[in-house]
């Protein structure tokens, strides 16, 4: 079965960077796009961007352009989210999610990674 296993809790100071991983299994890794979605406390989920695991192409939400990078390692079947210049508003739960066969739906999700940004 499809599984997305994310790395553990992170605590950072403002201005620092964070890199979160998402280990995929149970399907052909290069055949699907993986997205990152974050949810700040009490807020709706917010789409950050995606990577096509096959060719590494990416697309990012304009809100995060310049601060975010999504990469993948096909040999490790792992997708990464890099977020720089962290501020307190970046505190939240970060999820990876694999697209479905129709492209627009997020069919499978990771368990989430808590990121806390605090001085």
CA distance 2 to 107: 10
- Pick the closer one to other proteins by CB: 5 or 31: 5
User: According to CB under 8 A, which residues from 31 to 90 bind other proteins?
Assistant: 35, 37, 39, 44-47, 59, 61-62
User: Alpha helix (H) ranges present in the chain?
Assistant: none
Contact 72, 34 (CB under 8 A): yes
Rounded Cα gap, residues 113 and 92, in angstroms = 8
Among the candidate windows 7-15, 67-75, 83-91, 106-114, which touches other proteins by CB under 8 A? 106-114
Question: What are the residues binding other proteins (CB under 8 A)?
Answer: 4, 35, 37, 39, 44-47, 59, 61-62, 95, 97, 100, 102, 104-112
């Amino acid at each position: 079965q499809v599984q997305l296993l994310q790395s553990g809790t992170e605590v950072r100071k403002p201005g620092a960077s964070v890199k979160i991983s998402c280990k995929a299994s149970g399907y052909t890794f290069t055949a699907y796009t993986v997205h990152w979605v974050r949810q700040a406390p009490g807020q709706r989920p917010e789409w950050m961007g995606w990577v096509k695991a096959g060719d590494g192409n990416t697309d990012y939400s304009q809100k995060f352009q310049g601060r975010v990078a999504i990469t993948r390692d096909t040999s490790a079947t792992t997708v990464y989210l890099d977020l720089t210049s962290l501020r307190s508003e970046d505190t939240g739960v970060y999820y990876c999610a694999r697209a479905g066969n129709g492209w627009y739906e997020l069919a499978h999700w990771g368990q989430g990674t808590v990121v806390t940004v605090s001085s």
